[in-house]
């Protein structure tokens, strides 16, 4: 049986699915599903957070890619609030933490500071 990769919600890690057969007497009546990393038990097959790796286009490795992206942003001159580390957005307003005033996502300014993207575990990149 090949290992099934999952993205565990409990330990927030990429892990593998561990299956454990449930026996009643000598006959197999079902399976229990666990995270191989933290041991969290998923209540059913549909609860298992399978890792969808196949949909990712593999063009560069990770280090390669972030470097190319940063260069791209600078070359394009996209020094706009949307890409700025000081840009704060919430449901009510878009706000510049530097000037302490409302801004538009497409505004630009002298004090632009490129935001370093945090790797977001929840985004389906
Ligand atoms: Zn886990």
| Residue 75's pLDDT band (cuts 50, 70, 90) | very low
Size (the chain), residues: 125
Above 60 in pLDDT, residue 56? no
Region 88-107: what's the mean pLDDT? 89
Q: What is the pLDDT of residue 52?
A: 77
From the CA of 66, how far away is ligand 1's center (Å)? 27
From the CA of 5, how far away is ligand 1's center (Å)? 11
Same domain, residue pair 43 and 66: no
Domain count, the chain: 2
User: Residue 107: inside a domain, yes or no?
Assistant: no
- By residue range, what is the domain housing residue 80? 62-102
From the CA of 53, how far away is ligand 1's center (Å)? 17
Q: What is the pLDDT of residue 116?
A: 81
User: Residue 81: inside a domain, yes or no?
Assistant: yes
Closest to 47 (Cα-Cα) out of 78, 10, 94, 102: 10
From the CA of 15, how far away is ligand 1's center (Å)? 7
pTM of the model as a whole: 0.41
Q: Show the CA angle centred on residue 72, arms to residues 71 and 74, nearest 5°.
A: 65
Region 17-35: what's the mean pLDDT? 95
């Amino acid at each position: 049986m090949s290992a099934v990769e999952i993205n565990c919600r409990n330990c927030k890690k990429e892990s593998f699915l561990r299956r454990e057969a449930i026996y009643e007497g000598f006959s197999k009546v079902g399976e229990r599903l666990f995270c191989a990393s933290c041991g969290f038990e998923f209540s059913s097959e549909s609860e298992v957070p399978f890792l969808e790796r196949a949909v990712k286009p593999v063009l560069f490795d990770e280090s390669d890619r972030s470097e190319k992206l940063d260069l791209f942003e600078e070359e394009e001159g996209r020094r706009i609030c949307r890409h700025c580390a000081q840009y704060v957005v919430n449901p009510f307003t878009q706000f510049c933490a530097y000037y302490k005033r409302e801004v538009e996502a497409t505004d630009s300014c002298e004090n632009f500071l490129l935001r370093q993207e945090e790797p977001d575990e929840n985004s389906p990149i």
